[in-house]
Amino acid sequence: MNLQEFRAGFGGELLEPADAGYEDARKIWNASASKRPAMIARCTGVADVVTAVNYGRANGLLTAIRGGGHNVGGRALCDDGIVIDLSRMRAVHVDPATRTVRVQGGATLGDLDRETHVFGLAAPVGIIPKTGVAGLTLGGGVADS
């Protein structure tokens, strides 16, 4: 898949270093992690994620995934590759009958708390509202070296 095909099939926002908004989009919580990806793919849904993964794979690009962007080690970024940015995918779906919750990849603990509290529920996963649910869940809140 070439860049033109990628752009045509991607519904979100694609940012390259010369684009307005690129500098802000590449910032994460840990300001000392300063990497410069060749492209940031701000996904709006699953189709965008699939398209971005396929583009990265087809072009042999180093790929990083940004959920909430709170990782201390800066793993939500990479130099010269593609960042698949899920920060606009923050939906939280609560099923009060089964007491279960599904979240999109960019949801934060603040998003989770806001939606679960309406139903008198709480998720014992962390206390910092800006922390991404996906990264905390997958990494256990521990950065390995």
Q: Same domain, yes or no, for 49 and 18?
A: yes
Token pair 């990806």 is found at 37
User: Does residue 121 lie within any of the structural domains?
Assistant: yes
Confidence of residue 85 (pLDDT cuts 50, 70, 90): very high
* pLDDT tens per residue across span 4-38: 999 999 999 999 999 999 999 998 887 788 899 99
Confidence of residue 143 (pLDDT cuts 50, 70, 90): very low
User: Does residue 143 lie within any of the structural domains?
Assistant: no
Q: Same domain, yes or no, for 67 and 24?
A: yes
Q: Same domain, yes or no, for 11 and 38?
A: yes
Q: Same domain, yes or no, for 40 and 104?
A: no
Mean pLDDT of the chain: 91
104 close to 85: Cβ distance less than 8 angstroms:
no
Return the CATH number at 8. Answer: 3.30.43.10
Q: Which residue range forms the structural domain that includes residue 70?
A: 3-85
CA distances from 130 to 14, 18, 134 (A): 24, 28, 12
pTM across the whole model? 0.88
* pLDDT tens per residue across span 60-80: 999 999 988 777 778 889 999
Q: Same domain, yes or no, for 72 and 112?
A: no
